[in-house]
C-alpha cells in the first residue's frame, strides 16, 4: 500500500513517437503518446476521448477476460499455451497435395523441434493500392480469385494502402509480415506434438513446394513479382525447446535463414542480401 501523499506512477507502455503514416484521424509525422486521444471512441458525453493510459485495463469499460481476471502472469501464459501452443489440439484443415515430405525424415529429440516461418517485407506503397501476398505449399489454382480459399494456401499477408494523401511521405516505409509453416509441414503429426524433420529434409521439400504470389485486394488481379523490387520473401528455421510446464513459454534459439529455398524465385531472398 502506498504511503499517504505518495504518487504511484505506472510504467509507460506506449512510447512517445511520431506517426510514420497517417490514419483517418492522425496526420503523418504527428506526435503520439499514451495520452493521445483514441478517436473516435468517446469517454464521456462532453466530447472527451479515451486514451491509451486510461484504457490499459479493460475493467475501465466494465469487463474483463477469464484469462486475465486475477492479474496473474502464469494464468495468462497457461491460457496462451492452451489456445495456441503445441497441445492446443487444433486440427489442420488443409492438406498438402504434392511432394513426398515425411515428418520422420531424420532424428528427433523429445521436447525439441524446429519452427519454420516465411518472412515477407515490402514497401507499403509498392502498388499504391492494397494488395495481398499469398503463400502456398504445393500446387495451387492459377486463377487468383480462388487463392484465398485454395486448399494449399497456408497463409497470406495483406498490405493496406496508407491513408496519407502524400505518397512521398510513405515512400520509405517498409512493412513486414510472417506466415508460419510448421503445422502444415507436420499435418500428419500426432495431435499435441510438433515433430519437424531435420533441416535438410525440410529445405529440400520447401525449395520444391513453397510458392508465393501477389494480387490486388480490390479485384484479385495478379501482380508480377518482378515488378515489385521492394518485395522480399525469406524462410527461417528456429530451434525451439518446449515449455517444461503449462505455466512457461517455449524457449526459442537463434534463427537460421535458408536462402537456398528462396534464391531461385522472383522476390526471393538471395545469399548476401539483408534479411
Torsion angle defined by CA atoms of residues 117, 122, 125 and 128, in that order, rounded to the nearest 10 degrees: -80
**Cβ-based burial of 254 (10 A; exposed 0-12, middle 13-18, buried ≥19):** exposed
- Reading the chain (275 residues) residue by residue, the pLDDT tens digits are 343 444 445 566 788 988 877 788 888 889 999 999 999 999 999 999 999 988 888 888 888 888 888 888 888 898 888 888 765 533 333 433 333 333 333 334 557 888 999 999 999 989 989 999 999 999 999 999 999 999 999 999 999 986 655 555 555 689 999 999 988 887 733 433 334 545 667 888 899 999 999 999 999 999 999 999 999 999 999 998 888 888 888 899 999 999 999 999 999 999 999 88
> For residues 140 and 117, what is the distance between their CA atoms, to the nearest angstrom?
20
Amino acid at each position: 500500500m502506498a504511503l499517504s501523499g505518495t504518487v504511484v506512477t505506472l510504467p509507460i507502455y506506449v512510447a512517445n513517437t511520431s506517426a510514420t503514416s497517417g490514419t483517418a484521424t492522425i496526420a503523418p509525422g504527428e506526435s503520439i503518446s499514451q495520452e493521445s486521444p483514441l478517436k473516435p471512441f468517446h469517454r464521456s458525453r462532453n466530447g472527451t476521448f479515451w486514451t491509451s493510459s486510461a484504457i490499459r485495463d479493460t475493467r475501465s469499460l466494465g469487463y474483463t477476460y477469464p484469462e486475465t481476471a486475477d492479474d496473474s502472469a502464469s494464468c495468462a501464459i497457461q491460457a496462451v499455451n492452451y489456445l495456441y501452443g503445441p497441445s492446443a489440439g487444433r486440427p489442420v484443415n488443409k492438406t498438402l497435395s504434392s511432394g513426398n515430405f515425411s515428418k520422420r525424415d531424420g532424428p528427433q529429440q523429445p521436447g525439441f523441434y524446429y519452427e519454420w516461418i516465411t518472412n515477407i517485407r515490402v514497401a507499403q506503397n509498392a502498388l499504391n493500392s492494397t494488395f495481398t501476398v499469398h503463400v502456398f505449399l504445393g500446387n495451387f489454382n492459377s486463377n487468383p480469385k480462388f487463392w484465398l480459399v485454395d486448399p494449399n494456401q497456408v497463409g497470406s499477408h495483406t498490405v493496406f494502402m496508407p491513408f496519407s494523401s502524400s505518397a512521398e511521405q510513405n515512400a520509405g516505409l517498409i512493412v513486414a509480415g510472417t506466415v508460419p509453416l510448421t503445422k502444415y509441414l507436420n499435418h500428419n503429426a500426432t495431435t499435441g506434438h510438433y515433430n519437424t524433420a531435420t533441416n535438410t529434409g525440410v529445405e529440400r521439400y520447401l525449395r520444391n513446394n513453397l510458392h508465393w504470389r501477389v494480387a490486388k485486394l480490390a479485384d484479385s488481379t495478379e501482380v508480377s513479382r518482378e515488378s515489385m523490387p521492394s518485395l522480399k520473401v525469406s524462410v527461417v528455421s528456429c530451434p525451439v525447446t518446449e515449455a517444461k510446464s503449462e505455466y512457461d513459454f517455449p524457449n526459442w534459439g537463434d534463427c537460421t535463414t535458408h536462402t537456398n529455398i528462396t534464391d531461385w524465385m522472383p522476390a526471393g531472398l538471395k545469399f548476401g542480401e539483408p534479411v
